[in-house]
Amino acid sequence: MTSDYEEVGIGSFACTFGDLECKPEDIPDFDALWQAVSPGTDFAVMGCATFRKMSGQAEEYVVDAIRRTLLGAVVSPQDIDHIVFATSDPTLALLSHDFAVRVLDAVGLVGCVPHVLSYQRCCSSLTALRYGRQLFSDPYVANVVVVGLDFTPDDRDRVRTYAVFGDAAASCLLTRRDPGRVRLVSSAIQVDVDGLRGRDSIMSRKKVADSALSSVLHASGRQLEQITKVFAANLHQPLTLFNAAAAGFQPDKLHFADTLSAYGHCGNCDWMINLVDYHERFGILPGELYLAQASAQGFYACGLLEGSVS
């Protein structure tokens, strides 16, 4: 758990989705796959109408997201000190050995140190945000890019009991020179040992969520009721709403339904996708509190964000 109030802005969020729009029902043997993971359950109430699929190499989408982040922030690639990639365990295994080098070369990040965070499944990007923030303990660090990436090559592997997976890359810039869109007030990730072993329960999931949220709120000196909106993981809608209620959030606190419908569950990109979508529709307000949240079997992560004052 971390808490840090130093003024480092987080902004210039960018999301690049797979270029092919697909329907879950078009996946070969979808009905059989769905009944295998969720017997007797009606998929129509899960909330996912379409998902995005990458037709090219993953690095192409990552490069596009990073370029748009730098363009939005009016920052030169040569001025980026570190880049932190975050991805789930299965996606990490799919990346080529020279993935980072190819991305650095394509963007022109000539003085940039690459990092990767994984093994925390879809919670890795919130740990990456915290880690990226910690890099500013070096007074010479001025700009850090954080990138979330997840994709699924085999459509049959997209269909899970808790979500339908989509493909996306998302990025943001942490910087000293600008207040950005938000700042990280506090963050936490907790582990559910039963979940890691595939034996999680309603109680074990609630316990790990309560522990992470309590840590974040205690570190920040804030209350749950002060949170304006939660940028949730795009799991199946009934599961997302149930998890939120167990953590003490009313359904109207969550922003996820429309992006879930359009993109499915994009793993480590979800909270950034939902933040961007919310800002485009309603605006991130200065001084308001927002919770970026991610959950996976065995983990729960959250980051308390405060809207920046320009």
Q: Where are the domains of the chain?
A: 2-175, 182-307
**Fold matches, 2-175 and 182-307:** yes
pLDDT tens per residue, range 244-295? 988 899 999 999 999 999 999 999 999 999 999 999 999 999 999 999 999 9
pLDDT at 301: 97
pLDDT at 6: 64
pLDDT at 4: 42
CATH (residue range 182-307): 3.40.47.10
pLDDT at 3: 37
pTM above 0.75, yes or no: yes
pLDDT at 2: 41
- Give dist(CA 6, CA 1) in Å, integer: 16
Rounded mean pLDDT for each run of 10 residues along the chain, 310 residues in total: 64 99 97 97 98 98 99 98 98 97 98 98 98 96 98 98 98 96 97 88 89 96 97 96 91 98 99 99 98 94 93
Q: Which fold is adopted by the domain 2-175?
A: Peroxisomal Thiolase; Chain A, domain 1 (3.40.47)
Sequence-separated (6 or more) residues with CB below 8 Å from residue 11: 72, 73, 172, 173, 175, 178, 179, 180, 181, 182, 308
CB 292 within 8 Å of CB 305: yes
CB atoms within 10 A of CB 300: 28
